[in-house]
Chain A
Amino acid sequence: MIRLALPLLFSAALFSVGVYGVLARRNAVLVLMSIELMLNAVNVNLVAFSQRIGEITGQVFALFVIAVAAAEVGIGLAIVILIYRNREMINIDEVNLLKW
């Protein structure tokens, strides 16, 4: 039985990497991947706590999150492809028409 602190630290690091990727990266695909990292950091937390308190609910929830994440990536990639077809690039800070 591993101590709780390790997976929590790991998940915090993973989440931070994800936040950095979402905020700093310009490539839309990488932004999507960073979101994926954040979601998986949450999953790690869920599984860790589930193991700790001996209840299966957290792990079931993690499965739901994975399913939702798959759907989200599907839609996200579709949008990215459409942007690419229209503008020949996927640079996210140039996609800023929806303003003021």
Chain B
Amino acid sequence: MIAAEVVEHAGNGGFARYAWIVALLPFVSTVLTLFFGRRTPGKGAVYGITAIGVGLVLSLLVLWNFVQDGPTVHDAVDWFSIGSLRMQVGQYVDGLTAVMLIVVTVVSLCVHVYSLGYMHGDERYTWFFVVLSLFTGAMANVVIAENLFQLLVGWEVMGICSYLLIGHWWEEHANSSAAIKAFLVTRTGDIPFTFGIFALVVATGATTSSIPAITEAAERGELSIVWATAAALLLFGGAIGKSAQFPLHVWLPDAMAGPTPVSALIHAATMVAAGVFMIGRMFQVFLHADPIVLTIVSVVAGITMLIAALLAMIQGDIKRVLAYSTVSQLAYMVAGLSLGEAGYTAGLFHLFTHAFFKALLFLGAGSVIHAVHTNEMTEMGGLRRPMPRTFWTFLIGSAALSGIPPLSGFWSKDEIISTAFHEHSYILWAVAAFTAILTAFYMTRAVLLTFFGEYRGHGHPHESPAVITGPLIVLAALSCVVGFLNATAFNIYEFSEWVHIGEGEHPPFNYGFAALSIVGAVLGIAAGYRVYSRYREPEPLRALGPLYVVLENKYYLDEIGWRGIVRPVRDQVSAATYWTNQHVLDAAVNATAWVTRKVAGVANLFDRRVIDGAVNAAAGTAGFTGGLLRYLQSGNVQRYAAFLFAGIVLLAIVFTRV
């Protein structure tokens, strides 16, 4: 029966019509884990893993629809309406959605399985899986959202999950501070994002907030350029916060205070990519806004990728290296999108490949941290012998990130860099190419400090158990192959078929640029090898002098934020607000209360004397009359009969007269 139904619907989207189930399942498992998790053998991780495993199978079926050139699916049901604005929830499933669902379910499943080992024995083990499942559901909801407000709901739930998971070990003050910082900084971006949504709704004449409706209106040029420009800038503000772009990137490195699986899922593969995804989703708005918007996007991306890569070079904490690397790679994606129609596929393809190899790197780092109980690379070294599986998978991830062919990172990054050149964005091209060299350098540094040389820490590190290395191997295999989905050198354009805008023209593969990319990567690796192959304290990069000091202080951005924003707000604005609150608002409130009390007193008197009086009088009268009349009911049947006859006689007399 079901099979027949599916065949029947194959023409109108096939399994893509069931994409909403992928988003629903993690919510179900969240509730199950929350209520039954502690009583389940194994403390409840099984619900999340089952739900996301099923979700993964379904996501593959959804993607199958687009492999077969199936149509886009768009379903919605009414949620509520305000005036002319009809609010709906539903799904909008196109190639981009299908690809994102794959990313979310694959990485989430790997992270869930990995956490079985990594979080083993944690005192809030069940809670960890509750939030992990909730996060996965929220992200899937963002991906399938038909409606901007539906997207916003998922977006904010992700923010909350991020906050909860960064602060998972809140007993340490630094962790809860990092959680608060992450939440507040991303919220700073969410405010413009919310207003961007409002702007788009207003631009459509306050009739719809449906994503396909708005993008189609933008495509037809029905949105005025002023509104489109304002909306695009405001939406980009949201992406700056969520995807950690300059100047709001400061939260992501601190977010590494959370457990490593969280960093892999939320702060590398999915949530931080949501900002990029959102730009991709609303891309028509960006395209049809004033060109200055994409210029601003590209400037922000260029600054971010460079400064983050520079910071990644000097970090001692392995997770912070990866965090800054994530910021830098997200900037690559944003840069790709900033190139307009030509860079759309490239930017999102980098999102796709980056999710796998960066999750792999984080999980590999987690495996190392699990073994040596420290994040500091100065206390690692020589781990390739005790931890061969972790070492080889980490090496594959690093090579993919550095852009070594034929691994996935090479294809996507090369596409962005060559598109930048084709679109005559030479400055962006130069920055991206230079950042690629830095990327290869800092990853070489991380690999050498962690896995080569002599072991500098304490104890005897051992290879992690199979639940930890299993996901690593799966992700390493994926990092090797997913690049071939858009291997332009071999005329494979599968990914472009799924995710494109406009005609989706394929830029020709340019061997010159590819060679340049490879030379850049090799250059970075060689430099890294030269500096760090004989690593000895102190850090060799201190030779950079003042630049190193600036980098060590993260360009003083935290300092500027503290002195320029936090302290003035806390000391002056807060004090002024407090005074206003105490003397103006409270006075007004108290006056209102006093007046209300007086009025209520009068009303009370009126109520008791007049209204209650009337009611009591009515009741008293009825009681008194009844008291008199009741003596007529003597209980004597014959007297009743006498009354009856008397009545009949009376009636007879009356009617006879007439």
Is B68 an interface residue, CB under 8 A from the partner?
A: no
Q: What residue in chain B is nearest A25 (Cβ atoms)?
A: B638
A96 touches B641 (CB 8 A): no
Interface of chain B residues 574 through 623 with chain A (CB within 8 A)? none
Q: A19-B645, A24-B638 are in contact. List 9 more A-B contacts (CB 8 A).
A: A23-B641, A23-B645, A92-B638, A95-B637, A99-B633, A99-B636, A100-B630, A100-B633, A100-B635
Interface pairs (17), CB distance under 8 Å: A19-B645, A22-B638, A22-B641, A31-B638, A92-B638, A95-B635, A95-B637, A96-B636, A97-B635, A98-B635, A99-B633, A99-B634, A99-B635, A99-B636, A100-B630, A100-B631, A100-B635
Query: What residues of B have a CB within 8 angstroms of the CB of A22 in the complex?
Result: 638, 641
Query: What residues of B have a CB within 8 angstroms of the CB of A100 in the complex?
Result: 630-631, 633, 635
Q: What residue in chain B is nearest A22 (Cβ atoms)?
A: B641
Query: What residues of B have a CB within 8 angstroms of the CB of A98 in the complex?
Result: 635
Interface of chain B residues 517 through 532 with chain A (CB within 8 A)? none
B642 touches A23 (CB 8 A): yes
Query: What residues of A have a CB within 8 angstroms of the CB of B636 in the complex?
Result: 92-93, 96, 99
Query: What residues of B have a CB within 8 angstroms of the CB of A96 in the complex?
Result: 634-636
Query: What residues of B have a CB within 8 angstroms of the CB of A23 in the complex?
Result: 638, 641-642, 645
Query: What residues of A have a CB within 8 angstroms of the CB of B645 in the complex?
Result: 19, 23
Query: What residues of A have a CB within 8 angstroms of the CB of B637 in the complex?
Result: 92, 95
Within the complex, the shortest CB–CB distance from B640 to chain A, in Å, comes to 10
Contact with B along A10-28 (1 / 0, CB 8 A): 0000000001001110000
CA–CA, A13 to B315, complex, Å? Answer: 127
CA–CA, A53 to B641, complex, Å? Answer: 33
Within the complex, the shortest CB–CB distance from A35 to chain B, in Å, comes to 9
Q: What residue in chain B is nearest A95 (Cβ atoms)?
A: B637
Interface of chain A residues 47 through 100 with chain B (CB within 8 A)? 92-93, 95-100
CA–CA, A22 to B642, complex, Å? Answer: 9
CA–CA, A12 to B268, complex, Å? Answer: 111
Within the complex, the shortest CB–CB distance from B2 to chain A, in Å, comes to 68
Within the complex, the shortest CB–CB distance from B630 to chain A, in Å, comes to 5
Which 8 pairs from chain A and chain B are nearest by CB? A99-B635, A96-B635, A96-B636, A98-B635, A100-B630, A99-B633, A23-B642, A22-B641
B631 touches A93 (CB 8 A): no
CA–CA, A23 to B643, complex, Å? Answer: 10
CA–CA, A22 to B630, complex, Å? Answer: 24
CA–CA, A96 to B642, complex, Å? Answer: 15
CA–CA, A29 to B631, complex, Å? Answer: 27
CA–CA, A31 to B636, complex, Å? Answer: 13
Query: What residues of A have a CB within 8 angstroms of the CB of B631 in the complex?
Result: 100
Interface of chain B residues 361 through 386 with chain A (CB within 8 A)? none
Query: What residues of A have a CB within 8 angstroms of the CB of B635 in the complex?
Result: 95-100
Q: What residue in chain A is nearest B645 (Cβ atoms)?
A: A19
CA–CA, A24 to B639, complex, Å? Answer: 10
CA–CA, A19 to B641, complex, Å? Answer: 9
CA–CA, A22 to B637, complex, Å? Answer: 10
Q: What residue in chain A is nearest B642 (Cβ atoms)?
A: A23
CA–CA, A50 to B642, complex, Å? Answer: 30
Query: What residues of B have a CB within 8 angstroms of the CB of A99 in the complex?
Result: 633-636
Q: What residue in chain A is nearest B627 (Cβ atoms)?
A: A100
Within the complex, the shortest CB–CB distance from A15 to chain B, in Å, comes to 11
Query: What residues of B have a CB within 8 angstroms of the CB of A19 in the complex?
Result: 645
Within the complex, the shortest CB–CB distance from B635 to chain A, in Å, comes to 3
Within the complex, the shortest CB–CB distance from B104 to chain A, in Å, comes to 80
Query: What residues of B have a CB within 8 angstroms of the CB of A92 in the complex?
Result: 636-638
Q: What residue in chain B is nearest A28 (Cβ atoms)?
A: B637
Within the complex, the shortest CB–CB distance from B192 to chain A, in Å, comes to 80
Q: What residue in chain A is nearest B641 (Cβ atoms)?
A: A22
Query: What residues of A have a CB within 8 angstroms of the CB of B630 in the complex?
Result: 100
Query: What residues of A have a CB within 8 angstroms of the CB of B641 in the complex?
Result: 22-23
